Amino acid sequence: MRPFEINFDFPVGSSNLKISLTATAETHHSELYFEVHDFYLANEQKENGYHSVLPVQQVKRIKRDGSYLWVHKDSEQASELSIAIGNGIEAVLPGEELNA
């Protein structure tokens, strides 16, 4: 599958502030996970020489206690960021691709 664009709202700290971000996601199939990179503010254009507002993230969806949860690939721990990225991926991909 080719890289695809996702949009999501990232909650800042323990406040009510959310930042809308756009990023590029790529599927890896050896172990199904997503590498997400090139984060930028959703309401702005990417310009030459821009810097991603977040580092590359690797997330995957796992089943824990009977329900699906988006976690960081390396630690298998959930965070507000992994859950927000996962929601953005779910908005683009059909469920059968996520369960592959």
What are the mean pLDDT values of the chain's consecutive 10-residue runs (100 residues total)?
Answer: 89 85 88 91 73 92 94 96 95 78
User: In terms of Cα–Cα distance, which of 23, 24, 32, 19 is closest to 61?
Assistant: 32
Q: Into how many domains does the chain fold?
A: 1
pLDDT of residue 41: 87
Q: Whole-model pTM? A: 0.84
Give yes or no for a contact between 76 and 58, defined as CB atoms under 8 angstroms apart.
no
Count of alpha carbons within 13 Å of 72, Cβ hemisphere only?
10
Sheet strands side by side (includes 57-64): 4-11, 18-28, 33-41, 57-64, 67-72
Tell how far CA 88 is from the center of its chain. 6
> Each residue of 6-19: pLDDT tens digit?
999 988 877 889 99
Q: What is the pLDDT of residue 95?
A: 75
